[in-house]
Structure 1
Amino acid sequence: MAQKTVTVYTDDFTGEESEEVQTHTFSLDGVNYEIDLESENYDRLFEALAPFIKSGRKVGRSKSTSRSLRQTSDGPSAEQLRAWARENDYQVSDRGRVPKSVREAYEKAH
């Protein structure tokens, strides 16, 4: 008998299924949280936290976070990716993270 495994990505905030869900982490009062969100809901989270982030102080990053930021900073900016995506008939939001599928398509094209 054959088996088929299906992975369903779900936005933790809305409970809706989506192919564009990404995992985000944040910390509050020493507790680390992880949440899977579509870009629209990530934008909502970021907008809600923005005034507090602006007023707060950075206290450092973990090694894994610093490493991942270095790796992504070598490539094109989000604005450059969005411009390329629109020129090549991809739909992207004006804000938030650029979907991984768009980044991969950009890398293949360049």
Structure 2
Amino acid sequence: MAQKVQVILLDDLDGGEAAETVSFALDGASYEIDLSAKNAGKLRDTLAPYVASARRASARRGRGRAAASGGRSSRTDTTAIREWARDQGLKVSDRGRIPSDILAKYESAHG
């Protein structure tokens, strides 16, 4: 029997459908929040003057953080990308690395 599992992210502020997971850090704590494109834009606009005046901090070592896997952000849901690619008629495997051209097309369509 075939089975299809669909994960829908909800905006943590207004309960609508979220477009992305935004990561940020403040006072040594890292956060993630699922937001619609509109709310993500509001957050970025609000933080823009602070980011413009800030300096980038290097990654701190020895804080017990897990290593990043594959260089991709955790906000990107590979299951959703695979499903989207198949809906577009693109060939993508069930497991393993998603080809960069498919990732680029997905990000272009959803960015």
Per the normalisation by structure 2, the TM-score is: 0.49
Where is the helix percentage greater, Structure 1 or Structure 2?
A: 1
